[in-house]
Chains A and B, each alone.
Chain A
């Protein structure tokens, strides 16, 4: 009986992991879901890779690494920014082994929700990495980054339609030539 219950539970989980229908309705406004808001929700105690144990830790770590990368990107410290964008994506990749969907109302615990956008954050990291590579004259690797970015944006929009994601998508479509889409 115990074994049957476990099998049933596993089947139910598999069912949840299937592809969900695309999110519809008006997109979530940029003022509600945006990069700055994500950074703000994850500032404070610094997460170090050695201490990350739970999925929430890896999300926090990925966001904090991205926040540092953004600062370096603005300062045009491209090699350092590139390294942090990669680390950030590695942190998010741990999440994707278990959770794949973005959510504007991810429940941490009762009454507390956060913006949970690992796909969109990965997409933004890839976009910026592509821009760095392009600035170095590496057009082909840059395009590969943008194509990966576009795939991540579309995954995000599938789960949660946001103005943030749509604007990123628009930017990427303008960067990736149509023959390579």
Chain B
């Protein structure tokens, strides 16, 4: 699967997101709103992550 990857060389995007820990994951909805933030490593195939995604998909 090909996905675009942004390289935030000078940290500008991180600053605009108020990033303060690595890694941090943001889930953004179709309207461009941040719906979820997680700091630290996430097991995206785990129950917690899939539950969050399912809930967000149901909601919008």
B residues near A (Cβ < 8 Å) are 11, 14-22, 34, 37, 39
If A44-B18, A45-B18, A54-B39 are given as contacts, then 18 extra A-B residue pairs at C-beta distance below 8 Å, sorted by A number, are A43-B16, A44-B15, A44-B16, A44-B17, A45-B16, A45-B17, A45-B34, A47-B18, A54-B20, A56-B18, A57-B18, A60-B18, A108-B19, A108-B20, A109-B20, A109-B21, A112-B11, A112-B20
For the complex, would chain A's binding face be called helix, strand, loop or mixed by DSSP majority? mixed
**Hey, which chain A residues are within 8 Å of B16, CB to CB?**
43-45
Q: Is A77 positioned at the interface, with any CB of B under 8 Å from its CB?
A: no
CA distance A163 to B17 in the complex (A): 29
- Cβ-Cβ contact count across A and B, 8 Å cutoff: 28
Q: Which residue of B lies closest to A64 (CB)?
A: B18
Cβ distance A34 to chain B, nearest Cβ, rounded Å: 17
**Hey, which chain B residues are within 8 Å of A60, CB to CB?**
18
Q: Which residue of B lies closest to A44 (CB)?
A: B16
CA distance A108 to B14 in the complex (A): 11
**Hey, which chain B residues are within 8 Å of A42, CB to CB?**
18
A residues near B (Cβ < 8 Å) are 41-45, 47, 51, 54, 56-57, 60, 108-109, 112
The 3 closest A-B pairs by CB, nearest first: A44-B16, A108-B20, A56-B20
CA distance A156 to B14 in the complex (A): 27
CA distance A60 to B7 in the complex (A): 24
**Hey, which chain B residues are within 8 Å of A51, CB to CB?**
37
**Hey, which chain A residues are within 8 Å of B18, CB to CB?**
42, 44-45, 47, 56-57, 60
